[in-house]
Protein backbone atom coordinates (compact mmCIF):
# COMPACT_ATOMS: atom_id res chain seq x y z
CA UNK A 1 0.00 0.00 0.00
CA UNK A 2 1.32 3.43 -0.83
CA UNK A 3 2.31 5.84 1.88
CA UNK A 4 0.60 9.19 1.76
CA UNK A 5 1.51 12.40 3.48
CA UNK A 6 -1.23 14.53 4.90
CA UNK A 7 -1.53 17.82 6.64
CA UNK A 8 -4.37 18.36 9.03
CA UNK A 9 -6.23 21.61 8.50
CA UNK A 10 -7.54 21.45 12.05
CA UNK A 11 -4.30 21.21 14.04
CA UNK A 12 -1.92 21.89 11.14
CA UNK A 13 0.14 18.83 11.91
CA UNK A 14 1.58 16.61 9.26
CA UNK A 15 1.19 12.85 9.36
CA UNK A 16 1.66 9.86 7.16
CA UNK A 17 -0.89 7.21 6.44
CA UNK A 18 -0.70 3.87 4.74
CA UNK A 19 -3.78 3.80 2.61
CA UNK A 20 -5.09 2.03 -0.39
CA UNK A 21 -5.11 3.90 -3.65
CA UNK A 22 -8.88 4.14 -3.43
CA UNK A 23 -8.94 5.77 -0.02
CA UNK A 24 -10.56 9.17 -0.06
CA UNK A 25 -9.01 12.23 1.46
CA UNK A 26 -12.27 13.04 3.23
CA UNK A 27 -12.08 9.75 5.10
CA UNK A 28 -8.56 10.31 6.33
CA UNK A 29 -8.60 10.90 10.03
CA UNK A 30 -5.96 12.99 11.73
CA UNK A 31 -4.18 10.85 14.37
CA UNK A 32 -3.70 13.93 16.58
CA UNK A 33 -7.09 15.58 16.71
CA UNK A 34 -9.28 13.01 14.95
CA UNK A 35 -10.46 15.64 12.52
CA UNK A 36 -11.21 14.67 8.98
CA UNK A 37 -9.90 17.80 7.38
CA UNK A 38 -6.66 16.47 6.02
CA UNK A 39 -5.20 17.51 2.72
CA UNK A 40 -2.98 15.16 0.81
CA UNK A 41 0.52 16.46 0.25
CA UNK A 42 2.60 15.80 -2.77
CA UNK A 43 5.07 13.08 -1.97
CA UNK A 44 8.76 13.75 -2.29
CA UNK A 45 8.90 11.20 -5.08
CA UNK A 46 6.57 13.08 -7.40
CA UNK A 47 8.03 16.47 -6.49
CA UNK A 48 11.44 15.24 -7.60
CA UNK A 49 10.16 14.64 -11.10
CA UNK A 50 8.76 18.13 -11.54
CA UNK A 51 11.52 20.61 -12.22
CA UNK A 52 12.67 23.31 -14.60
CA UNK A 53 15.85 21.36 -15.35
CA UNK A 54 16.26 20.45 -18.99
CA UNK A 55 16.08 16.73 -19.67
CA UNK A 56 19.39 15.02 -20.27
CA UNK A 57 20.40 12.97 -23.26
CA UNK A 58 19.49 9.66 -21.65
CA UNK A 59 16.05 10.98 -20.78
CA UNK A 60 15.49 12.21 -24.32
CA UNK A 61 16.61 8.88 -25.69
CA UNK A 62 14.31 7.03 -23.33
CA UNK A 63 11.46 9.28 -24.40
CA UNK A 64 12.19 8.62 -28.06
CA UNK A 65 12.30 4.89 -27.45
CA UNK A 66 8.99 5.04 -25.66
CA UNK A 67 7.40 6.96 -28.52
CA UNK A 68 8.82 4.53 -31.03
CA UNK A 69 7.39 1.66 -29.05
CA UNK A 70 4.03 3.37 -28.91
CA UNK A 71 4.03 3.88 -32.67
CA UNK A 72 4.93 0.25 -33.20
CA UNK A 73 2.12 -0.75 -30.92
CA UNK A 74 -0.34 1.41 -32.83
CA UNK A 75 0.55 -0.37 -36.05
CA UNK A 76 -0.43 -3.72 -34.61
CA UNK A 77 -3.70 -5.19 -35.88
CA UNK A 78 -6.70 -4.85 -33.59
CA UNK A 79 -7.16 -7.45 -30.90
CA UNK A 80 -10.40 -8.70 -32.42
CA UNK A 81 -9.75 -9.63 -36.05
CA UNK A 82 -12.59 -9.79 -38.50
CA UNK A 83 -14.48 -13.10 -38.43
CA UNK A 84 -13.34 -15.52 -41.11
CA UNK A 85 -15.74 -15.26 -44.02
CA UNK A 86 -16.97 -18.54 -45.58
CA UNK A 87 -15.54 -19.16 -49.06
CA UNK A 88 -17.74 -17.62 -51.78
CA UNK A 89 -20.07 -20.12 -53.52
CA UNK A 90 -18.97 -23.56 -54.76
CA UNK A 91 -19.61 -25.20 -51.42
CA UNK A 92 -22.62 -27.26 -52.53
CA UNK A 93 -20.83 -28.40 -55.70
CA UNK A 94 -17.90 -29.89 -53.79
CA UNK A 95 -20.19 -31.43 -51.18
CA UNK A 96 -19.81 -35.22 -51.51
CA UNK A 97 -23.37 -35.88 -50.35
CA UNK A 98 -24.98 -33.76 -53.07
CA UNK A 99 -22.76 -35.16 -55.87
CA UNK A 100 -23.51 -38.70 -54.77
CA UNK A 101 -27.24 -38.14 -55.08
CA UNK A 102 -26.97 -36.53 -58.53
CA UNK A 103 -24.77 -39.17 -60.13
CA UNK A 104 -26.90 -42.19 -59.18
ZN1 LIG B 1 -5.34 17.24 13.31
Distance (angstroms) between ligand 1 centre and the Cα of 94 equals 83
Distance (angstroms) between ligand 1 centre and the Cα of 28 equals 10
Query: Has this prediction a pTM greater than 0.75?
Result: no
d(CA 44, CA 18): 15
Give the pLDDT confidence of 19-43 residue by residue, as tens digits.
888 888 899 999 999 999 999 997 6
Distance (angstroms) between ligand 1 centre and the Cα of 79 equals 51
Q: In whole numbers, what is the pLDDT of the chain averaged over residues?
A: 77
* Sites in the chain below the pLDDT cut of 50: 46-50
What do you get for the CA distance between the two ends of the chain, in Å?
77
Amino acid sequence: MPLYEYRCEQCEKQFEANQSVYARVEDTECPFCRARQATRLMSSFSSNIVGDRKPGFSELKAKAMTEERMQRFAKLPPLNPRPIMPPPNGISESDPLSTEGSTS
